[in-house]
Amino acid sequence: MRRTRSRIAIGLLSAATSLALLTPPAAHATPPGHSEWIGSWHAAMTTAAASGPSAEGFTDTTLRQVAHLSVGGDAVRVRISNAYGTDPLTVAAVTVAPRSDDAAGTPTVDPKALTEVTFGGRAAVTIPAGADWMSDPVDVSVPDDSDLVVSMYLPGPTGPATTHRAGYATSFAASGDVTADAGEAFDKLDTSRYFLTGVDVTTRARGSVVFFGDSITDGVISTVDANLRYPDQVADRLLTRPGPHRCGVLNSGISGNRLLTDAGASGDSALARFDRDVLSRPGVQTVVLLEGINDIGNSEGALEPEQLIAVYRQFIARAHAAGITVVGATLTPFEGAAYYTEAGEADRQAVNEWIRDSGEFDAVVDFDAVLRDPAHPSRILPAYDPGDHLHPNDAGFAAMAAAVDLRTIC
């Protein structure tokens, strides 16, 4: 998969990177050669959906899920979330196993690679409702750009599951405790994620960069199990750097998310979740902000641009207080989408003008310029439009990834 992503991105890199405004690397970067915990993978969590597995929860079930790591390391920690649970969540057993891309889209692992995960020295943990829990360090080496297969046994009933619905990665389930199974016991569940919210690694990389946003960051309409979301493709580019100059990549996108409004299975408002999904992640050096089109579209232009700008300023202030660099991303074209209005387009243009020209961000990446059709700038270029006129296709995600100047984020 990685070679496929590279071929898509390299052809676009030279022209697209000139669209980014440049700043020097962050002054607070981890010193080269110093090993510490950083985030390598993240899924931003929401409340359960109205129906389906997340609403029903799980009883006497082992879930097997795949986290595609950005950078590797000498040890891992697993993060499990019960942030939206209504009752304490008991996790009775967890295993991890690194594997190559050759088994992508399957539950298959080498049983010899399976390693038990503990929590305070115990195999089981009970996580209070509303809380997350971090495992003990697991002494297992994981490569860059690789899959970590995480299996957790839930005796249940769990009640409604804390979830990430647009995972675009196949998840699997089996009855009983089969956390040590090679894969034969598992059946395909869906492409959502349940309870698993993060994987940290020990590494000599600089730190991590968080891509924070809505469905475009989340990778909606990207190819399942191919890891072609634009943050994934930025992660591939970062791996061309020497080890101490790399960064982990954390995807904090949630499909349907908004800056100002809580939206159930589309997540708490971006303003409400910023601390959990950005500031609390380990080793964060930079955050890339791409969000606001759902506020504009769903309000049909009724929101004033100043309302969205006020939220961006909150993000900038809170990130800077934590020593984190902030890259602003322009909102991408959406004419033809179901919620497009001319008033909304005027708001998008006003917000983008502020992002480009205000000077309040540490750097800017102009995704609008990358994706728009020169002959019809309020629309996505047809080559990047899968048909909904809102989300880019895999090639569009590659163009976005190529436009991110690596010197502004890591």
Q: Which residues pair with residue 127 across a beta bridge?
A: 89
| Range of lowest pLDDT (5-19, 146-160, 366-380) | 5-19
CA-to-CA dists, residue 1 to 8, 73, 149, 225, angstroms: 11, 21, 17, 9
Q: What is the mean pLDDT of residues 54-61?
A: 98
* Segment 320-335, tens digit of pLDDT: 999 999 999 999 999 9
Q: Show Cβ contacts of residue 237 under 8 Å, excluding neighbours closer than 6 positions.
A: 9, 13, 401, 402, 404, 406
Residues 162, 82 contacting (CB under 8 angstroms):
yes
Residue 131: pLDDT over 90: yes
CATH architecture of the domain covering 2-34+204-408: 3-Layer(aba) Sandwich (3.40)
* pTM metric for this prediction: 0.92
Is the pLDDT at 30 greater than 80, yes or no? no
Specify burial of residue 314 (Cβ count, 10 A radius: 0-12, 13-18, 19+). middle
- Strands (E) across 16-170 are located at 36-42, 61-68, 76-81, 89-91, 93-99, 115-116, 125-127, 132-134, 147-154, 163-164
- Close Cβ partners of 306 (under 8 Å, ≥ 6 residues apart): none
What is the per-residue pLDDT for 34?
Answer: 53
| pLDDT above 50 (res 137) | yes
What does the pLDDT read at residue 344? 97
Among the ranges given (3-17, 224-238, 347-361), the one the predictor scored with the smallest mean pLDDT: 3-17
How far apart are alpha carbons 112 and 396 in whole angstroms? 39
- How far apart (Å, rounded) are the C-alpha atoms in residues 49 and 264? 8
Counted residue by residue, the chain has a size of 410
Unique residue bearing structure tokens 């869906």: 190
